[in-house]
Copies of this chain bind each other. A is one copy, B any other.
Amino acid sequence: MDPTVQLELSVDRGSPVPLYFQLAQQLESAIEHGTLTPGTLLGNEIELAARLGLSRPTVRQAIQSLVDKGLLVRRRGVGTQVVHSKVKRPLELSSLYDDLESAGQRPTTSVLVNTMVAASAEVAAALGVAEGGEVHRVERLRSAHGEPIAYLCNYLPAGLLDLDTGQLEATGLYRLMRAAGITLHSARQTIGARAATAVEAERLREQAGDPLLTMQRVTFDDTGRAVEYGTHTYRPSRYSFEFQLLVRN
């Protein structure tokens, strides 16, 4: 029957948090905690607005934000209901460091190289800087439980950020960039595979010719500047890319 459910909802008009956001948070946590079970109908927007003392557009804005997150589905003539399947990670710009940490793996990082170099043609093209101009070059080996997981080589435009080796070993590159006031906007990624060279194999304690998972990425900030270019190699036995994505209908 998919019954519609009465839910305790309230908003605080004195709070600086937007009303639609307060409502969205309450609905989201109700879904998270199982108070709103999958398939439940949310009840019509008009009545919900009246119950909360809000206008309909405000209620719609709250609901829409959860639809965008994939937690709710709207059907005209039917109603709004909670999605059955559990959506966990709608695919963020994944940070290996954060991935490992949230998996309880306590990652460790050793910085192998942290210098300025002249940009090669490949790096210059990716970052949109002049070929031969100076860029940061950082090479890191990331491990967990004493086993190497990935070899990360990154290039950053000069003058964007202080790259302190100690900080690089204590956290991820993305956190440093955000902390420096850089607003990440989008990234272009390529994921592939290839056989390990002898040098790569030694770094990751594999054999030459063994399969490696590879990823190249260029990250842009909200002004459109390229702020990072990275070429990474992963041990496929220790890491794979896992994510949930939503279909644009």
Contact = CB atoms under 8 A, between A and B. Distances in A.
Given A225-B84, A236-B194, A247 B212 contact: no
Quick one: which of A70, A192, A195, A248 has the most chain B CB within 10 A? Answer: A192
Interface stretch (A22-30, A138-146, A161-169, A216-224): A216-224
Given A186-B70, A246-B186, A223 B93 contact: no
B236 A189 contact: no
Interface in A27-80: 38-39, 57, 68, 70, 73
Contacts of A6: none
A234 B236 CA distance: 15
A209 B212 contact: no
Interface size class of A (residues with CB under 8 A): 35 or more
Interface in A85-128: 85, 87, 90-93
A189 B242 contact: yes
Contact of A187 (B92, B223, B245): B245
A156 interface: no
A172 interface: no
Interface string A226-248: 10000000001000111111111
25 contacts: A73-B223, A85-B186, A85-B220, A90-B248, A91-B91, A92-B248, A93-B247, A183-B249, A184-B249, A185-B249, A186-B244, A186-B245, A188-B242, A188-B243, A188-B244, A189-B242, A191-B242, A192-B236, A192-B240, A192-B241, A193-B236, A193-B240, A195-B210, A209-B209, A211-B212
Given A83-B222, A195-B210, A73 B185 contact: yes
